[in-house]
Amino acid sequence: MLGDPEQIRLVSRRLAVDAEHLRRLALEVAATGDLAWRSPAADLFRVQVVARAGGLRCRADELEAAARLVAVHAQAVEGARTAVIRVAALGASLPEAVGGALRGGGRR
């Protein structure tokens, strides 16, 4: 992912928000298993609720990890951008520096 580090950070923040949303959703799903209903079907329902809530929490963990990685990437892009600007500035001043050195060397 290339581009503006702030836009990349925005993606990171969105991923983190989505992870939090999944965590809340997992809690809501888990709460549906708290029933007074007793039967084999109720037991199967509870097993499925636990599995779905666990899956949502797992996806939330993955989104949080992705958010952290994207934030690190934004920092790397920012560092690379700074280095490119610095090198470009050096490159822009090179013809003048070389010309001055050549002019100065020819007068000896």
Predicted confidence at residue 96, as pLDDT, reads 79
Flag whether the pTM goes above 0.85. no
Q: What is the pLDDT of residues 27-85, one digit of tens each?
A: 999 999 998 999 999 999 999 999 999 999 999 999 999 999 999 999 999 999 999 99
Whether the per-residue pLDDT at 104 is higher than 80: the answer is: no
Report all structural domains of the chain as residue ranges with CATH numbers, in order of start: 5-106 (1.10.287)
The strand ranges marked E within 19-91 are none
Whether the per-residue pLDDT at 18 is higher than 60: the answer is: yes
DSSP designation for 3: S
Virtual torsion, Cα 66, 71, 75, 80, nearest 10 deg? 40
10 Å CB burial of residue 15 (0-12, 13-18, 19+) is buried
Closest CA to 65 of 21, 16, 24: 16
